Each structure stands twice: as structure tokens, then as C-alpha cells.
Amino acid sequence: MDPLKRMADFQLDVLREVGNIGAGNAATALAKLLDKQVDMKVPLVKIVPFSEVAESLGGAEEVVVSVFLRVLGDCHGNMFFMLSVPSAKKMLSRLVGIETDDPESFTEMEMSALQEIGNIMVSSYLSSLGDLTRMSLIPTVPALAIDMTGTILSFGVMEYGQTGDKALLIYTRFLEDELDVEGHFTFIPDPQSFSKLFASLGVPFDEH
């Protein structure tokens, strides 16, 4: 039986805790940056095969805004933070106060703001994962892309040379006054890193 189907509840609870701590760290960092209260919740954490990542995020042809980077150190992998275009626009309007007439394209100022928000998100999640696992997780410089989900995932894989066959998905909801935006944090450990990640969290992950 696929080990992903046999994951114990406590394993998912551990990953949910990673997500909640990361969301809390990110909310604190964004609140300081924007000088306003930002709340986040993690309603769902999933482990899925890499082949199903795009479908889990709305489909391979869904256009998204993504900040992505390579993770080095004790647990190598690829990391992405993705928002739908409407969600990104909503976030820019409500959180950053940037209003534009074009619902689909982004100005240089908008892209800069999104990259900073995305950078805070991935850094916060990576920091929380590193704290809980006591592993050294070193991020490369993040890049921003606006393209189809499948294209971004493929580019990330080609850019960094390899990817694992499983992905950790953390769904994040931003809640601030009337703002209700959903984002997706995706960490795809390299093949040899997945069991190492679970072992460092103190939970067994049987690959067989």
C-alpha cells in the first residue's frame, strides 16, 4: 500500500504544527512590516505525490503568483509559495494598500511587494521547519514568477536539477478584517530527504 495512504494521524499532526508555527511567524513578520494586525490559519496539511501537486493547487493551467527557492543544508528540496492572481490582487489591496485597475497584470511595485510577502512566507515556514527538526535549512535567494502552476513547478525542477516524488502542501488562510485570502506553501524534498525529514521530527515514515 502507498505509504502516503498509511500516514498516521500523529504524523499529519506534526506537519500541521509545522504549518501553524510557520503561519504564526509569518503573521508576526508581516504585521511588523505593514504595521497592522495579520492573522493566519492553517486549515489543511497534505502529503501528495509530486505528480498530483498541480492538481491539488487548482490545475496545471491555473495562473498563479509564486515565490520559489531552493533549500540547501541538511534537507535539500524545492520550496514554493503560491497565490491565485485574484488572491494576490486582494492581498495587495487590503494588506499593502496598492490599488490597480488591471485585474490580471502586475506593476513593478506590485511585484516587488508580492516578492517581499512571499519571501517572508517561505522564510517563516522554513525557519519553523528548521526549529522543529533541528536541521540546518538554508534558503537560496527567492525568485518571483507569474505563470501557470505546471510551468512554475517544472521550471523549479529544471532550474534546480532534481525533485522528490512527494510534496508537503500547507494551505494558508490570511484573515485581516474583510480579507480572506488562501495561499499554498509547497515543500518538495529531494528523494533522499523525505525520510530524513520525518526521522528528524521523531516520526517513522516507512517507504515500503
pLDDT digits (tens, 9 = 90+) for 151-164: 988 876 665 555 66
Q: At what angle do helices 108-133 and 9-34 cross, to 10 degrees?
A: 140
Q: With contact defined as beta carbons under 8 Å apart, do 62 and 85 qualify?
A: no
pLDDT exceeds 80 at position 26: yes
Query: Residue 2 falls within a domain, yes or no?
Result: no
Q: Please work out, in degrees rounded to the nearest 5, the angle formed at the alpha carbon of residue 86 by the alpha carbons of 85 and 92.
A: 90
Range of the domain at 124: 9-200
DSSP 8-state assignment for residue 51: G
pLDDT exceeds 50 at position 136: yes
Distance of CA 105 to the CA centre of its chain: 22
Query: Residue 117 falls within a domain, yes or no?
Result: yes
| CA count, 13 A, side-chain hemisphere, 53 | 29
Query: Residue 1 falls within a domain, yes or no?
Result: no
How would you label 12-34 residue by residue, b for 16+ Cβ within 10 Å and e otherwise? eebbbebbbbbbbbbbebbeeee
DSSP 8-state assignment for residue 93: I
Model-level pTM?
0.83
User: Which domain CATH number covers 194?
Assistant: 3.40.1550.10
Residue 55 contacts by C-beta under 8 Å, 6 or more apart in sequence? none
Structurally, the chain folds into a number of domains equal to 1
Kindly report, residue by residue over 53-89, the tens digit of the pLDDT: 888 888 999 999 999 888 999 988 888 999 999 888 8
